[in-house]
Chain A
Amino acid sequence: MPDLIPLLSQILNGLLAGSYYLMIALGLSMIFSLGGIVNLAHGAFYAIGAYLAVTLADRIGFGGALVVSPLIVAVIGMIVERYLLRRFYTADPILGLLLTFGLAMVAEQGLRMAYGAAPIPFSIPPELRGQVFIGDFVYSRYRLIILGITALSVLGLWLLLTRTAFGKVVRAGVQNPDMVGALGISLKPYMTAVVMIGVGLAALAGVLIAPIAGVHPAMGQEIITFAFVVVVIGGLGSFWGVVAAAAIVGMTRGVAAHFYPAATEASVYLLMVLVLLMRPRGLFGERIQKFE
């Protein structure tokens, strides 16, 4: 069946490519689940992460940037949460949308003013370059590293949410914030931490993608829509739903690229429509009391 090999390699590639959206989608999902805010500025944190990587890599190397850039962005996230997002958790959701949409535009224009609109050069560090061959399937060594870091982040996040006291409070806060409050626990510091983790992951993705995609001010927009679609397909509040959706979205793109390239991106939206028609809460969406 030689005809099947190209299709299979597209599906495999798509599965792996799903990891690019995953780190962004997980942060989006967490912030929405706990705070009720759809963070349209999430792509901006991804872009800032990438730009910081370019700036920092000259001084502390790519490995250093991989650690420091997400930390800096997490601190920016903390400030944004403390002084902006916090005012909107209980407000009309449309206000949170307006705020984060505005923030995204301010951040994009800020990057344009600071660095110019042209893409700025950045490459894979020489020691991470190379390809891996599995039969006729070729893959980039660097992308396998991205996959590994994504897998570690997902595992770490899952352990944090399920095996720690911090995770228990966050999960309780998602389901029933009033009850958490009645038990004398303030969700405020938890929400700050969730935003810091969420935008930190977005920045980590930005650092990882910077060597293989153009680093330009609108790069956040390029990825945010997909990440959002992944969250919607996976289902709100469902950790593994988002992980599964990232894989499914990636594979759908691969199949579309094989049969009908012009619909590579549109196929993902079609998938979202189908999922929403059949399961309005997404594939694995939980019933979250406060959003019903």
Chain B
Amino acid sequence: MTGNTTPDHKSLSRRTVLKASAGITALGAIGAPAISYAQAETIKIGHITPRTGFLGPLGEYAAQAVQLAAEEINAAGGVLGRRIELILDDSPNPQQASAKAERLVQRDKIIALLGEISSASALAIAQVVQREKVLFINTGANSDALRGSDCQKFMFHIEAQNSMYVKAVGRSLIRDGLVSGKRWYSLTADYAFGHDLLNVAKRYMAANGGNHAGDDLIPTDLADFSPFLLKIRQARPDVVCLNLAGTQITNFLKQYAEFGLTFPVAGFGFDTALAWGAGRGNFGGIWPVVWHHLIDTPGSKSFVSGFQRKYNRMPENQAWGDYCSLKIVAQAIAETRATDPVKIVEHFEKGAKFDLLKTREGYFRAKDHQMMMEMYAITALPAAQIRNQYDIFTSSPPVPAANESLEVIAATDDENKCTFRA
């Protein structure tokens, strides 16, 4: 204990703190009712996503995009003449995700929940929505397990599954001669998403003749990749494949350029904002995305300009998922003329088609609720060809190609089987 404490001092500051906290509590009590301005005629939709931590930067895009979608829907007269009322919350970890999903359902009476990025949190939310019989559209969690062993009747996925990411970018890797007979080294995020992705990647690379040179599991709070850059250099692989997520990708890109390593880089999961945040000359490699801002369709152009007008920055793939998922829910309500989640689930399972701002419409595959859609592989531009902070890559044509079924990149029954429990 401090030797020079004067009792006066201590009680004074204690009292001040008490007063302050009482004041803050009072403010909270006044603030709370203003937030939930419940109106009988609105259609309540919950949105939950990480806003802090290594996925926080992506969560911000997600929350902004879903609000843009709500604004557009309401400006056009709402759905069935009713306004969409969004209730947003954050999910820093799986426990909180589960508790907040439950609160949104029970207290706020939402009919659908959108969002999430962490596969571990999405798994927790899936159990809540299944129990409460509320629709959940996962907009950012990639694990195949969520569409396989952990699949749920009330959970749908507009985010692509790991298998789709791997197969979409895999075609570009095969084209560039980086798979057959080549040694690949991987860095894998040490949580549900990374482990799942590593399994999918191993299966794909082995099936196409690649040899795995090694893998390092990366703790999600690691910021300094130098130990692993040394290991990669010693392993001398033909290609370095990343199964990472969030700001770790930014850190990796910056440090890979810093150490001057020249092995080709590829990723099996990606978010454009993380490359934008790496800075000039630091972004390299081939990466898969569900959507990017250079897609030349009227829908994408209008989304890009709307997002830029409202938020003064370029939307990236995470924004696309949350924007489209609210549009999909609104369209399903209008088409079924019902807000009953059970009816909407049936509608989705019948193969309803949705505009995804791409060249082809998409649909949820009935057997595992995965959105069937086009994807893209993007390749970093050399620094000399970069003209502005956003256009730092070139894109492949849509994968699958126009003459192929959308299902060719999705997991097969052998790879990932879903059995819905009643």
- A residues at B contact (CB < 8 Å): 6, 9-10, 13-14, 17, 20, 36, 87-88, 90-93, 95, 98, 108, 112, 116-124, 129-131, 136-140, 142-143, 177-178, 181, 211-219, 222-223, 253-254, 257-258, 261-266, 289-291
Instruction: Output the least CB separation between B94 and chain A (Å).
Output: 18
Instruction: Output the least CB separation between B390 and chain A (Å).
Output: 11
Task: Determine the residue in chain B with the shortest Cβ distance to A176.
Answer: B3
The reply to whether A90 and B5 contact each other, CB–CB distance below 8 Å, is yes
- Mark each residue of chain B from 173 to 201: 1 if its CB lies under 8 Å from any CB of chain A, else 0: 00000000000000000100000000000
The reply to whether B254 and A211 contact each other, CB–CB distance below 8 Å, is yes
Decide yes or no whether B26 CB sits under 8 A from chain A.
Answer: no
Instruction: Output the least CB separation between B402 and chain A (Å).
Output: 33
Instruction: Output the least CB separation between B377 and chain A (Å).
Output: 22
The reply to whether A118 and B57 contact each other, CB–CB distance below 8 Å, is yes
- Mark each residue of chain B from 51 to 80: 1 if its CB lies under 8 Å from any CB of chain A, else 0: 111101101110000000000000000000
The reply to whether B280 and A121 contact each other, CB–CB distance below 8 Å, is yes
A215 contact set on B, CB distance < 8 A: 277
Decide yes or no whether B260 CB sits under 8 A from chain A.
Answer: yes
The reply to whether B9 and A90 contact each other, CB–CB distance below 8 Å, is yes
Knowing A118-B276, A119-B277, the reply to whether A90 touches B6 (Cβ < 8 A) is yes
A264 contact set on B, CB distance < 8 A: 218-219, 222, 227
The reply to whether B276 and A218 contact each other, CB–CB distance below 8 Å, is no
The reply to whether A91 and B10 contact each other, CB–CB distance below 8 Å, is yes
Knowing A138-B230, A258-B227, the reply to whether A213 touches B259 (Cβ < 8 A) is no
B57 CB contact (under 8 Å) in A119, A136, A211, A212:
A119
Instruction: Output the least CB separation between B319 and chain A (Å).
Output: 11
A258 to B218, CA, bound (A): 12
Q: What band does the interface of chain B fall in when counting residues whose beta carbon is under 8 Å from A?
A: 35 or more
B82 contact set on A, CB distance < 8 A: none
The reply to whether A17 and B224 contact each other, CB–CB distance below 8 Å, is yes
- B residues at A contact (CB < 8 Å): 2-6, 9-10, 13-14, 16-17, 51-54, 56-57, 59-61, 190, 216-219, 221-224, 226-228, 230-231, 233-234, 247, 250-251, 254-255, 258-260, 273-274, 276-282, 313, 389
B255 contact set on A, CB distance < 8 A: 212-213
The reply to whether A178 and B3 contact each other, CB–CB distance below 8 Å, is yes
A286 to B362, CA, bound (A): 67
A286 to B222, CA, bound (A): 31
The reply to whether A265 and B2 contact each other, CB–CB distance below 8 Å, is no
Task: Determine the residue in chain B with the shortest Cβ distance to A129.
Answer: B258
Given contacts A92-B14, A112-B56, A212-B251, 15 further A-B contacts (CB under 8 A): A90-B6, A91-B9, A91-B10, A95-B14, A117-B60, A118-B57, A123-B280, A211-B279, A213-B224, A214-B274, A218-B247, A219-B223, A258-B227, A261-B218, A290-B3
A257 to B231, CA, bound (A): 9
Instruction: Output the least CB separation between B157 and chain A (Å).
Output: 24
Instruction: Output the least CB separation between B310 and chain A (Å).
Output: 13
Task: Report, nearest first, the 8 A-B pairs whose CB atoms are least far apart.
Answer: A119-B277, A257-B227, A121-B279, A214-B250, A117-B60, A262-B217, A123-B279, A261-B216
Find the residue from A6, A136, A261 having the highest chain B CB count within 10 A: A261
A181 contact set on B, CB distance < 8 A: 4
Task: Determine the residue in chain B with the shortest Cβ distance to A137.
Answer: B230
The reply to whether A118 and B60 contact each other, CB–CB distance below 8 Å, is yes
Knowing A119-B277, A142-B258, the reply to whether A216 touches B57 (Cβ < 8 A) is yes
The reply to whether B277 and A123 contact each other, CB–CB distance below 8 Å, is no
The reply to whether B278 and A119 contact each other, CB–CB distance below 8 Å, is yes
Can you report 24 residue pairs joining A to B where beta carbons are below 8 Å apart?
Answer: A10-B231, A14-B227, A17-B224, A17-B226, A87-B16, A112-B56, A117-B59, A118-B61, A118-B273, A118-B276, A120-B277, A140-B259, A140-B260, A213-B250, A213-B254, A213-B255, A214-B254, A216-B57, A216-B247, A216-B277, A261-B217, A261-B227, A262-B190, A265-B221
Instruction: Output the least CB separation between B361 and chain A (Å).
Output: 30
Instruction: Output the least CB separation between B24 and chain A (Å).
Output: 10
A262 to B191, CA, bound (A): 10
The reply to whether A254 and B227 contact each other, CB–CB distance below 8 Å, is yes
Task: Determine the residue in chain A with the shortest Cβ distance to B261.
Answer: A138
A266 contact set on B, CB distance < 8 A: 219
A219 contact set on B, CB distance < 8 A: 223
A117 contact set on B, CB distance < 8 A: 51, 56-57, 59-60
Task: Determine the residue in chain B with the shortest Cβ distance to A225.
Answer: B221
The reply to whether B227 and A290 contact each other, CB–CB distance below 8 Å, is no
B60 contact set on A, CB distance < 8 A: 112, 116-118
The reply to whether A265 and B219 contact each other, CB–CB distance below 8 Å, is yes
The reply to whether A218 and B52 contact each other, CB–CB distance below 8 Å, is yes
A91 to B5, CA, bound (A): 7
The reply to whether B258 and A261 contact each other, CB–CB distance below 8 Å, is no
A118 to B273, CA, bound (A): 7
B234 contact set on A, CB distance < 8 A: 6, 9, 136
A104 to B344, CA, bound (A): 44
Task: Determine the residue in chain A with the shortest Cβ distance to B248.
Answer: A214
A140 to B313, CA, bound (A): 33
Knowing A118-B57, A123-B280, the reply to whether A90 touches B216 (Cβ < 8 A) is no
Knowing A98-B17, A117-B51, A130-B260, the reply to whether A10 touches B278 (Cβ < 8 A) is no
A139 to B227, CA, bound (A): 11
The reply to whether B233 and A138 contact each other, CB–CB distance below 8 Å, is yes
B217 contact set on A, CB distance < 8 A: 261-262
